[in-house]
Amino acid sequence: MRVPHARDARRPILSSRATLALCAALLAMAVGGPPLLAQTNEADAAFALTDRNQDGMVDAEEYRNRLVEVFYFSDKDVDGVLMITELPGAAPSEYAAADRNGDGKLSQEEFVGHQMQGFSGADTNGDGKLSEQEVGAWKP
C-alpha cells in the first residue's frame, strides 16, 4: 500500500519557531496583563520561557511540555481534539500525516507525537537539545 505523502510524514505541522511563538502568545494571555514581551525580542523571550531550567537549551522534555500547552491553547472549542480548522496554516497533508488513526481529529498524543519529530529535525548537532540558534535556523 502506497503512502501518498510519505515525504511529508516527517514534517511537523508547526515549525519549532511557530511553536515557541504560540507559546509567547499563550503566556502573555495567561498572565492577563499587557503583553510583557516586546515584539523585537519575542522569539528570545519565548525561548527563555520554554527553557524552564534555564540552562540555555530546550531539551525534549521542555519542548514536549510546551507542545502540550500549545495543544490546549489551540483547542479553541475545548473538545480535547484539534480539528484542522484549529491549526491555521496547517497543510492538509501534514495534518493527515499526524492523524495516525485517520479519524480526522488530532488527539493530544497524535499532535505532540507528530510535533516531536520537529524537535529531531531542528536538533542539527544531535545532542538532544535545541539551542536558540538551532531553533532560529530550522526551517520545516
- Grid cell digits, residue 82: 484539534
DSSP state of 59: E
Q: Which of 16, 22, 63, 99 is the binder for Ca ion (CB under 5 A)?
A: 99
Site size for Ca ion, by CB under 5 A? 12
Angle between helix 16-31 and 108-122 (nearest 10): 120
Could you tell me where the DSSP H helices lie in 32-107?
42-50, 60-74, 92-98
Rank residues 110 and 123 by Cβ distance to Ca ion and give the closer one: 110
Q: Which of 51, 94, 123, 134 binds Ca ion (CB under 5 A)?
A: 51
Rounded CA separation 65/15 (Å): 16
Q: Which of 31, 41, 53, 133 is close enough to bind Ca ion by CB under 5 A? A: 53
Q: Is residue 79 close enough to count as binding Ca ion by CB under 5 A?
A: yes
CB-nearer residue toward Ca ion: 41 or 53? 53
CA 80 from centroid of its chain's CA atoms: 17
Q: Which stretch binds Ca ion (CB under 5 A): 13-21, 22-30, 43-51, 89-97?
A: 43-51
Q: Are 138 and 18 in contact (CB under 8 A)?
A: no
Q: Which is nearer to Ca ion, 35 or 128 (CB)?
A: 128
Q: What is the DSSP string of 99-121?
A: -TT-SS-B-HHHHHHHHHHHHHH
Q: Which is nearer to Ca ion, 77 or 127 (CB)?
A: 77
Tell me which stretch binds Ca ion (CB under 5 A): 20-28, 94-102, 118-126, 131-139: 94-102
Provide the β-strand partners of residue 82. Answer: 106
Binding site for Ca ion (CB under 5 A): 51, 53, 55, 57, 75, 77, 79, 99, 101, 103, 105, 110
